[in-house]
């Protein structure tokens, strides 16, 4: 996640508008890794509104040569003067920016848009009218089967069996009904959440799924209820954890007690305080209720426990996505959401040493790779959809399209990454 000031919550998480994106791209284009830096310097000189335009030349020189501490301080000061929220920028001529190649118009479907964004560098803005979020689809509550991918479905389990090299019962391949024999095979071969996600990413590349607009992953529990996991929340929850653990660690924890207390129960109800991304209405944290968690003290012995995980959050996102399904006029199964804050709970437990050192590859602990974060940053900061920010659900749908193009190993890792690969400053050379 790119931000100019992680100690300022509003600055960290507030989406960029068209002017901000263009200003950011122009200054970014002055960095030495970009061949067009001279042309970008001219555009910054034209639109930044600095009274002393020679400072742009000084900025360009320092971006290439700043070595000493005093030079770096001066560089930071100059970058602050041309910050996209500084208020000194003149009205931008978007037609000129398009002619100059700063804004790249795009026409095509969402799949082609993702390919374009993956190719695009951080000094460009892709502008599209491609419809990301269709008004006729409810992506949050009553999600249609064609917009879901079930992580313990027959398609995913069959892919896992093929990758792992074991045979599933013929009857299961015919009807997809889970039996004790199937559960035993999955446990024996290590069907963890990580392995299920790997197989789901493989499955999304198959002809059956490549033309479907998958908006959510689903875990079907044995009683028919389901847990929904929005792909963007896997990334945003990781970013929230790293940001809050570094800048506001005191806001983490159980509502009562500590994860180190002898009476802490993994199997049972606990309420965690998880920092909010922004302090709306005076609230500094949300509360995640863990009705059932895997026994994280021995994850290798509890391979399938992730299928029974039940967590919910009192945040607006959790309340808007966790609901009861209504089918043919009848209330049926409960749907809960493993959201941003639930993801932060799992990472918090690992950070606090609840997991032993040899068991860091817990079934629910995965991290986005640095390359994946960079792609998502471009969805947030280098994409205009009808002249606006793509929005949370739009980015979520773009991410599921990435799954159709990129191997799992380039998307997620089980190893805890360096903080700087998750949290990056906006203006940096690399």
Convert the pLDDT of each residue in 166-199 to its tens digit.
Answer: 999 999 999 999 999 999 999 999 998 889 999 9
Residue 193 and residue 255 in one domain:
no
Tell me the residue range of the domain where 329 lies. 221-365
The tokens for 333 are 């199964």
E strands present in 257-386: 270-275, 285-292, 310-313, 323-327, 330-337, 367-368, 383-385
Q: Is residue 44 part of a domain?
A: yes
Residue 236 and residue 337 in one domain:
yes
Helix 180-188 to helix 154-164 angle, to the nearest 10 degrees? 40
| Residue corresponding to tokens 């398009």 | 98
Residue 144 and residue 175 in one domain:
yes
Q: Is residue 94 part of a domain?
A: yes
Q: How deeply is 228 buried, as exposed, middle or buried, from its count of CB atoms within 10 A (0-12, 13-18, 19+)?
A: buried
Q: How deeply is 14 buried, as exposed, middle or buried, from its count of CB atoms within 10 A (0-12, 13-18, 19+)?
A: middle
Residue 32 and residue 87 in one domain:
yes
Residue 225 and residue 350 in one domain:
yes
Residue 293 and residue 388 in one domain:
no
Q: Is residue 4 part of a domain?
A: no
Please report the pLDDT score of residue 63 as a whole number.
93
- Residues 86, 87, 90, 96: is their CA dihedral positive or negative? positive
Residue 343 and residue 413 in one domain:
no
Q: Is residue 2 part of a domain?
A: no
- Render pLDDT for 384-405 as a digit per residue (tens, 0 to 9): 999 999 999 999 999 999 999 9
For the chain, the average pLDDT equals 88
Tell me if residue 259 falls in helix, strand or coil.
coil
Stated pTM of the model: 0.91
Write out the chain's pLDDT in tens, 430 residues. Answer: 999 889 888 889 999 999 999 999 999 999 999 999 999 999 999 999 887 888 999 999 999 887 899 998 999 999 999 999 888 899 999 999 999 999 999 999 999 999 999 999 999 999 999 999 998 888 888 888 999 999 999 999 999 999 999 999 999 999 999 999 999 999 999 998 889 999 999 999 999 998 999 999 999 988 778 899 999 999 999 999 999 999 998 888 888 877 777 666 666 788 999 998 887 777 888 999 988 877 655 556 678 888 988 888 988 877 776 655 566 666 666 778 888 999 998 888 877 655 555 545 555 578 999 999 999 999 999 999 999 999 999 999 999 999 999 999 999 998 888 999 999 988 764 4
Residue 347 and residue 237 in one domain:
yes
Q: Is residue 3 part of a domain?
A: no
Residue 251 and residue 360 in one domain:
yes
Residue 295 and residue 401 in one domain:
no
Residue 51, number of CB atoms within 10 A of its CB: 6
Q: Which residues pair with 273 in a beta bridge?
A: 253, 287
Residue 69 and residue 85 in one domain:
yes
Please report the pLDDT score of residue 131 as a whole number.
94
Closest CA to 147 of 218, 220, 224, 206: 218
Phi, psi of 289 (to 5 degrees): -95, 120
**How many domains does the chain divide into?**
3
Q: Which residues pair with 125 in a beta bridge?
A: 103
Domain boundary, last residue among 337, 365, 393: 365
């Amino acid at each position: 996640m790119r931000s100019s000031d992680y100690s300022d919550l509003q600055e960290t998480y507030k989406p960029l508008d068209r002017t901000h994106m263009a200003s950011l791209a122009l200054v970014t284009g002055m960095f030495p890794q970009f061949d067009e830096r001279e042309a970008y310097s001219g555009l910054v000189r034209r639109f930044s509104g600095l009274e002393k335009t020679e400072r742009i030349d000084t900025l360009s020189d320092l971006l290439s040569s700043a070595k000493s501490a005093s030079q770096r301080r001066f560089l930071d000061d100059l970058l602050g003067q041309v910050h996209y929220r500084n208020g000194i920028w003149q009205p931008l001529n978007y037609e000129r920016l398009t002619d100059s190649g700063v804004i790249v118009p795009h026409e095509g479907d969402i799949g082609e848009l993702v390919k374009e964004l993956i190719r695009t560098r951080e000094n460009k803005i892709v502008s599209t009218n491609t419809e990301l979020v269709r008004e006729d689809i409810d992506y949050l509550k009553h999600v249609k089967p064609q917009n879901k991918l079930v992580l313990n479905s027959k398609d995913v389990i069959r892919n896992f069996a093929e990758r792992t090299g074991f045979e599933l019962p013929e009857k299961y391949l015919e009807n997809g009904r889970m039996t004790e024999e199937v559960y035993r095979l999955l446990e024996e071969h290590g069907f963890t959440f990580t392995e299920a996600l790997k197989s789901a990413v493989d499955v999304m590349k198959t002809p059956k799924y490549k033309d479907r607009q998958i908006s959510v992953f689903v875990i079907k529990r044995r009683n028919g209820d389901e847990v929904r996991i929005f792909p963007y929340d896997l990334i945003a929850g990781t970013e929230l954890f790293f940001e809050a653990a570094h800048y506001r660690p005191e806001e983490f924890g159980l509502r009562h007690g500590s994860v180190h207390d002898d009476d802490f129960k993994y199997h049972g109800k606990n309420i965690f305080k998880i920092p909010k991304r922004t302090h709306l209405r005076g609230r500094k944290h949300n509360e995640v209720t863990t009705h059932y968690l895997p026994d994280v003290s021995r994850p290798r012995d509890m391979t399938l426990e992730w299928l029974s995980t039940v967590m919910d959050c009192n945040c607006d996102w959790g309340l808007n996505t966790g609901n009861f399904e209504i089918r043919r006029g009848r209330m049926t199964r409960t749907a809960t959401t493993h959201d941003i804050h639930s993801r932060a709970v799992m990472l918090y437990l690992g950070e606090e040493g609840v997991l032993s050192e040899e068991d860091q590859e817990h079934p629910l602990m995965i991290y986005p790779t640095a390359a994946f974060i960079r792609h998502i940053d471009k969805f947030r900061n280098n994409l205009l959809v009808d002249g606006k920010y793509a929005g949370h659900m739009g980015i979520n749908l773009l991410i599921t399209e990435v799954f159709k193009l990129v191997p799992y190993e380039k998307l997620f890792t089980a190893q805890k990454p360096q903080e700087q690969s998750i949290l990056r400053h906006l203006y940096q050379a690399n």
